[in-house]
Amino acid sequence: MNSDIFNNPLFQSLAPEKLRFIQEFHQMAKPSDSKQAAPFFMQMMQQARQKGIQFTPNETELLIQLLKSNMSEADQKKADMMLRFFHRKNWQEHILEASCYMGNLMS
């Protein structure tokens, strides 16, 4: 995905800290498979929340599109399934559930 996505009118009205977070996310090295992508994404969303940044579903979808940009077609489809799952509930609920789940796996 190229940086033309930031020309979208949606991003011209974003708060500066939210836009900065998305641009930094766009530039960072991201996992190339869906198994690593989910924990990576959840960690990034938790970091955003700690900074007081909350994303709308459209903004979150953009982040997932950026995350999928260097994945194989098969892994992109798996990431799409994750996106559909996340759209069913409130994003904050998912982050809390995932954090608890990841904590249980690591204990």
> In this predicted model, what pLDDT tens digit does every residue of 65-103 receive, in sequence order?
888 888 889 888 887 776 666 656 555 565 555 555 455
Q: Encoding tokens for residue 50?
A: 């700690």
pLDDT tens sequence across 30-53: 888 877 887 888 889 899 999 999
DSSP assigned state of 53: -
CB within 8 Å of 82: residues ≥ 6 apart: 34, 37, 38, 41, 64
Start-to-end CA distance of the chain, whole Å, equals 37
